[in-house]
A and B are shown apart, each in its own frame.
Chain A
Amino acid sequence: AQSVTQLDSQVPVFEEAPVELRCNYSSSVSVYLFWYVQYPNQGLQLLLKYLSGSTLVKGINGFEAEFNKSQTSFHLRKPSVHISDTAEYFCAVSWSNQFYFGTGTSLTVIP
């Protein structure tokens, strides 16, 4: 079975500071990995995805994530956050055409 763990339910960070949102997954097979962002009362927007190849993936809005197979992690990072980055972030694993979501991390950027 596949599962996704987002260890931090809430992450407050000051504006222009760096941030890392953690995601770990458990799977005995190769999976695809995704990060989505959800703004209040909206659907999910794809930030980035890892399918294969380079383990460092760059996405939209200055976010990037690194796939670490040995640690089964796919942490999301941004070197300098902006107020507009305040949102809910979901890590997801895709396997056998199904998506498995983490419980989400609420990022709050403090001015």
Chain B
Amino acid sequence: GAVVSQHPSWVICKSGTSVKIECRSLDFQATTMFWYRQFPKQSLMLMATSNEGSKATYEQGVEKDKFLINHASLTLSTLTVTSAHPEDSSFYICSARPSSGSRTDTQYFGPGTRLTVL
């Protein structure tokens, strides 16, 4: 149990285009999901906290107009990188925290999405 999927697993796009990444909790509901960015050989950097039915909370230094987050249901959050540039190339990982039950203290991570902007 506690499976989180991400789609796509990798994407290559041209500079200036927008890319949408989906994060789904497959076997549990998640009021809260998180979006992280990871650079090579580095730790995860929290970008934003996504709350179902309300606006996301962005970490300091993260442009909310560039990284659009929509948490439309209890099992789906999307991250859209708008007008992507090469410096946005990175590994994006989402996580989800169960809304109820005995696992609400734990975040479960998706497999990540490798974004390459040419």
Q: Please indicate whether A and B come from the same complex rather than being unrelated chains.
A: yes
A102 near B43: Cβ-Cβ < 8 Å: yes
Bound form: Cα–Cα A26–B1 in Å: 31
B35 on the interface (CB 8 Å rule)?
Answer: no
In this complex, the interface size class of chain A, counting residues with CB under 8 Å from chain B, is 20 to 34
| In the complex, chain B residues whose CB is within 8 Å of the CB of A84 | none
> What DSSP secondary structure best describes chain B's contact surface?
strand
Name which residue of chain A comes closest to B45, CB basis. A101
A94 near B46: Cβ-Cβ < 8 Å: no
B97 on the interface (CB 8 Å rule)?
Answer: yes
> What DSSP secondary structure best describes chain A's contact surface?
strand
> Which among A45, A98, A106 is the interface contact of B46 at CB below 8 angstroms?
A98
Looking at A15-23, A34-42, A54-62, A69-77, the stretch in contact with chain B turns out to be A34-42
A42 near B42: Cβ-Cβ < 8 Å: no
> Which among A44, A46, A103, A104 is the interface contact of B93 at CB below 8 angstroms?
A44
